Structure formats: C-alpha cells, structure tokens
Amino acid sequence: MSGRYALDSGCVVKVPRALGACSANKTCNIIRSRLPLASSTYFHTATVFSSQPSSITVTKEPDALFQRVSLLVKGHDKSVLDSYELFATMAAKELGIAISKVCELPKDTERFTLLKSVHIFKNHRVQYEMRTHYRFIELSHLTGSTAQVYLEYVQRNLPEGVAMEVTKTAMEKVPDHILKPMWEEDPIDNKLSQG
C-alpha cells in the first residue's frame, strides 16, 4: 500500500530533484539580488526554495484511490472560465494526471421581470437576467495524495465570482464482514431470529 504524504507544520518543502533545484536556485538568487525586500512578496518562488530543509512525512495509512474526480466550474463570465480551464488542464498535465473529458455545458439563464416604477405604472416593466456558464473537467485514476494536492492548488487559484463542485468517486475493497454470510458460523443467531 502506498503511503500518504503530509507536510510538517510550518516547514517548507524541499525540491528533491537536482535539475529542478539548480535552475530554481539560479532564479531565486537573481530575484534576491535585484530586490532585497522581504521574501513574503515572492512567497510562491522564494519560500519554496528556501535554505531551510524540510521533510515530507510518509504515513502508514493507505492512500485512497479515486477512480474519477470531476470538476464542475460555474461562473458568469465565459472568458474567465476559458482561462481557468486552460490553467486547470495544464496543471493536471504537469502533475501527470490523466484528463478524460473537458467539455462546456450549455449555459443557464435566469430571467425575471420587475415593475420599473415604485408605485403604479404596471405597463412599464424592466427585465433582468443572470447567465451561468459551466465547464466540466473529468480526471481519472488519482491517488488520495495527488487529488488533495491538485484540488488544493486549483481551488486556491479559483478566481473571484467562480464556484466549483468537485465529485470524487473513491474505490474500496469489499470489507471482510461481507465476504461470507455470518449464519454459517453462528446458527444460534438464526434460530433466535426465527423464534
């Protein structure tokens, strides 16, 4: 059973790969030399490659397996959803997650008619509508750790005014108590229930 990765509280991850570390450190140094401001302004790049070594703890708890993780993203602006879809698909590709479906569901329009005036003038109305656009992204074969990482990344970068529904289908083995009927071992219980 593969283990679960957890980050120690307060510590920061250390990139284990040599290639990645080299180039990243280079850019990190460049950033630092240009503007010796607080590293909090560049928390994405600078703090990731900090000098403090951290540990990735692997717990003994078995990793969950998700056969399918589907994201339904809803928003009022289609172009924002387009950009977000680009971002989500690219992130999935970079992390090595299989994308099975990306599609655009037809939009929903909610319309209502109100009276234009505060008092009387029933013949003069004003109509409003609210359009909700959708984007559906389906990913398949994710482990629990990968799903957690990807979903947190994608949800932290959710733009303003956009909502998301994530449906996860976890796979589980048949538990031990359903493998055989219990009446074979304990016939007494059967008799009791009959009487």
Partner 1 sequence: MASHTSRGLLSLGRISASALGLQRPLSRVTYATNVSTNYSAGKTGLPDRGAGKFARRPRRAPGEPRTEKMPVDQDWTAVYPAAAPFRPGSVPLPVRMGYPVKRGVPPEKKGNLELIKIPNFLHLTPAAIKKHCEALKPFCTEWPSALDTDARCDAHFPIKAESTDYVSAGPSVRNPAARTVHLKVKLSSLNLDDHAFKKMLKLVGERYCRDTDTLTITADRCPLRQQNHDHAMYLLTVLYHESWKTEPWEAEKSVADMEEYSWEDSPSQRNLLDTLVRVEAAGEGGGGGEEVREQLLGRREVQEYKDSVTRLKNEGESESTVMLYKEAVKKVLNL
Q: Tell which positions 24-83 bind partner 1, by CB under 8 A.
A: 24, 27, 30-31, 34, 41-45, 48, 56, 63, 65, 67, 77, 80, 83
**Can you tell me whether residue 82 is helix, strand or coil?**
helix
Query: Residue 99, interface with partner 1 (CB under 8 A)?
Result: no
Closest C-alpha among 166, 165, 167, 159 to residue 82? 159
Contact flags string 136-165 toward partner 1, x per CB under 8 A: -----xxxxxx-xxxx-x-x-xxxxxxxxx
Contact flags string 100-139 toward partner 1, x per CB under 8 A: ----------------------------------------
Q: Which residue from 15, 37, 115, 126 is in contact with partner 1, where contact means CB under 8 A?
A: 15
One-character DSSP codes across 83-141: HHHHHHHHHHHHHTPEEEEEE-PPPEEEEEEEESSSSS-TT-EEEEEEEEEEEEEEEEE
Dihedral of CA atoms 89, 91, 92, 95 in degrees, nearest 10, equals 160
Q: Which residue from 99, 115, 126, 182 is in contact with partner 1, where contact means CB under 8 A?
A: 182
CB of 160 to partner 1, least distance (A): 5
